[in-house]
A = this chain, B = another copy of it.
Amino acid sequence: MNITARSGRRPGKSETRTQILESARRAFSRNGFRQATIRSIALDAEVDPALIHHYFGSKEQLFTAAIALPLDPRIVLAPVQASTNEQLGATLLTAVIGVWESEHRDAVLAAFRSAISGDGSQLIQSFLLNIVLRDIIPRVDTPPGSGLLRAELVASQIAGLLMTRYILELDPLKSLSVDALIPLVAPNLQRYLTGELPI
């Protein structure tokens, strides 16, 4: 499709990249990694499929870009790094729910659905353990060697909350305000992080 003719100018490279990423997030969110195609994303973004490959490489690289760009873990997790260990559960939950309640929810759901379908398992596992939970693990490693398991238990509660509140949309869970939700769930995360566990 000739965008130049419509807009009177050729769109810039960064504008085109942004458009492709938006279309990719929408497609991955709706259809999951396997069923979304470069062709359909190209159609939605009004670009040639070859341009997507030129900018992003493979479908998996496009997916990584689509889920990674909007989240910017350094910014999202800054409050977590600044938090005391005693506030870690509430701070982490607040940061994560902040993303889910933002305009980036589609990207998160896309990543989540792909993880479930099995296609994105490795991707999500890397993202969870190497980015989101990486800095937390050494901080909660008491007794030594327990930090990773504590972080994975936290991941289990967070993943399940995402599923029941935003995908299954169980009511009244889905209707709770963020302010009401945090004190319900954060103490459970805190137990996993710093509680005395039979490990």
> Contact residues of A with B, CB < 8 Å?
32, 112-113, 115-118, 121, 124-125, 128-129, 148-149, 152-153, 155-165, 167-170, 172-173, 176, 180, 183-185, 187-188, 191-192, 197-199
Query: Do A149 and B173 touch (CB < 8 A)?
Result: yes
Can you offer 16 A-B residue contacts whose CB atoms are under 8 A? A115-B168, A116-B167, A118-B167, A121-B169, A124-B168, A125-B168, A125-B169, A129-B170, A149-B176, A153-B173, A155-B170, A158-B160, A159-B168, A160-B162, A163-B163, A183-B198
Alpha-carbon distance A184/B193, docked complex (angstroms)? 12
- 7 new A-B contacts, CB < 8 A, other than A125-B170, A152-B164, A156-B165, are A32-B117, A121-B167, A125-B168, A125-B169, A155-B164, A156-B161, A156-B173
**Interface-centre pick from A113, A156, A159, A170 (highest chain B CB count, 10 A):** A156
Query: Do A121 and B168 touch (CB < 8 A)?
Result: yes
Query: Do A157 and B155 touch (CB < 8 A)?
Result: no
The verdict on A112 contacting B116 (CB below 8 Å), with A155-B160, A172-B148 known, is yes
- A131 shortest CB reach to chain B, Å: 14
**Interface-centre pick from A125, A148, A188, A191 (highest chain B CB count, 10 A):** A188
The verdict on A199 contacting B184 (CB below 8 Å), with A116-B116, A156-B165, A163-B160 known, is yes
- A52 shortest CB reach to chain B, Å: 24
